[in-house]
Amino acid sequence: MVLAVTPSFAADKANDVFTALKIEANLWEATAAVAVFAASSNETPAHLQQLNRMTLMFSAFEGDPLALRVYGSAALLHPRDTGWDDLIGLFPTMDGSRQIIDVAIERVETSCGSGVPFHEFKGQRGETELVPHYDRMDEKTLRRSRTDKNTQSIDGFPANILD
């Protein structure tokens, strides 16, 4: 059973971390998968290799303040890894897809959300900005970008993206 399907592109930090998220659940287990695209930094993937814990946070854009946090252990998948083909089909097709974060959900909490700043959702930009960006890049350009910008986190943890 699909609990929530939200293919969305969201900016995270100043360096534009674009992700798409899918959450699936059944009576015994729940998982979330987050696709990481080439425009992303490699902070989260590099840190997951140090400690495989992940927190996803969602907040309400309208109505009463509300925050939702999803906690779990996470595995990082690259196109070369077993399991990639099972998950990549959940997301919009995009040449820049480079990693999937597969989260085994262990706990879900809500809180009042009153400490979260107001945000205004104006629309999606993935189809109009991100997809055309990747359409202009060939594999050589994508690899050079990964080599130049994504081999380690800002604090020096290896990303192992090219292994």
Strand order across the 67-77 sheet = 2-6, 19-25, 30-37, 97-111, 67-77, 53-59
What confidence score (pLDDT) does residue 134 get? Answer: 79
CATH classification number, 2-149, choose in 3.30.2310, 2.30.110, 3.40.1350, 3.40.50: 2.30.110
Residue 114 neighbours by CB distance under 10 Å: 9
pLDDT tens digits, residue range 36-65?
A: 776 567 888 888 888 999 998 888 888 899
What confidence score (pLDDT) does residue 16 get? Answer: 32
Are residues 146 and 37 in contact, defined by beta-carbon separation less than 8 angstroms? no
SS3 state at 69:
strand
What confidence score (pLDDT) does residue 39 get? Answer: 59
What confidence score (pLDDT) does residue 126 get? Answer: 74
Mark residue 139 as left, alpha or beta (left: phi above 0; alpha: psi -120 to 50; beta: remaining).
alpha
What confidence score (pLDDT) does residue 36 get? Answer: 77
The two tokens of residue 32 are 């979330």
Distance (Å, whole) CA 101 – CA 43: 12
Q: Where are the domains of the chain?
A: 2-149
What confidence score (pLDDT) does residue 162 get? Answer: 66
Element (H, E) at 74: strand 67-77
Return the C-alpha torsion angle 129, 131, 137, 140, nearest 10: 130
pLDDT tens digits, residue range 124-159?
A: 777 788 778 878 888 888 778 777 777 888 888 888
What confidence score (pLDDT) does residue 111 get? Answer: 93
